[in-house]
Amino acid sequence: MARVLAIESSCDETACAVVDGMLVRSSVVASQVEIHARFGGVVPELASRHHLDAITLVIREAIREAGLSPTALAEELDALAVTDSPGLVGALLVGVQAARGLALATNLPLFGVHHMEGHLFSAFLGDDRRAPEPFAPHLALLVSGGHTELVEVRGLGDYEILGATRDDAAGEAFDKVAKLLGLPYPGGPIIDHLAEEGNPEAVELPRAMLASPNFDFSFSGLKTAVAVHLDRHGQPRSRAELCDLCASFRAAVVDVLVAKACRARAERGLDRLHVVGGVAANAGLRARFEAAAAEQGFRLVAAPLRYCGDNAAMIAAAAAARVDAGCEPAVEVDASVAIDDPRLHISRVARAP
- For residues 229 and 180, is the Cβ–Cβ distance under 8 A? no
Say which entry of ligand KG4, Zn ion, none residue 171 contacts (CB below 5 to 8 A, set by partner kind). ligand KG4
Q: How far is 8 from 340, CA to CA, in rounded Å?
A: 19
Q: Is 120 in the site for ligand KG4 (CB under 6 A)?
A: no
Q: Which stretch binds ligand KG4 (CB under 6 A): 30-38, 52-60, 132-140, 272-280?
A: 272-280
Q: Is 275 in the site for ligand KG4 (CB under 6 A)?
A: no
Among 48, 97, 106, 144, binds Zn ion (CB under 5 A): 144
Site for Zn ion in 233-272 (CB under 5 A): none
Q: Does 144 bind ligand KG4 (CB under 6 A)?
A: yes
Q: Provide the 8-state DSSP code for 333.
A: -
Burial class (CB in 10 A: 0-12, 13-18, 19+), 309: buried
Q: CA 321, CA 344: separation in Å to the nearest integer?
A: 14
**Binding site partner of 329, from Zn ion, ligand KG4, none, Cβ cut-off 5-8 A by kind:** none
List the interface residues with ligand KG4, window 280-309 (CB under 6 A): 281-282, 309
Identify the CA nearest to 14 among candidates 54, 60, 65.
54
CB of 230 to ligand KG4, least distance (A): 19
Nearer of residues 309 and 329 to ligand KG4, judged by Cβ = 309
**200 vs 329, beta carbon nearer ligand KG4:** 200
Is there a contact between 341 and 115 (Cβ–Cβ < 8 Å)?
no
Judged by CB, which is closer to ligand KG4: 108, or 153?
Answer: 153
Mapped onto helix, strand or coil, the DSSP state of residue 142 is: strand
Q: Which is nearer to Zn ion, 244 or 310 (CB)?
A: 310
Subset of 298-317 contacting Zn ion (CB under 5 A): 310
Looking at the DSSP bridge assignments, the partners of residue 172 are: none
- 2 closest CA partner among 121, 93, 154, 83: 121
User: Which partner, Zn ion, ligand KG4, none, binds residue 163 by CB below 5 to 8 Å per kind?
Assistant: none
Q: Are strands 3-8 and 79-85 parallel, antiparallel or unpaired?
A: parallel
The count of other CB atoms within 10 Å of the CB of residue 273 is: 26
Amino acid at position 217, single letter = F
Site for ligand KG4 in 168-207 (CB under 6 A): 171-172, 174-175, 186-189, 192
Q: Find out whether the peptide bond into 342 is cis, omega within 30 degrees of 0.
A: no
- Residues of this chain that bind ligand KG4 (CB under 6 A): 11, 144-146, 171-172, 174-175, 186-189, 192, 277-279, 281-282, 309-310
Residues that bind Zn ion (CB under 5 A): 144, 310
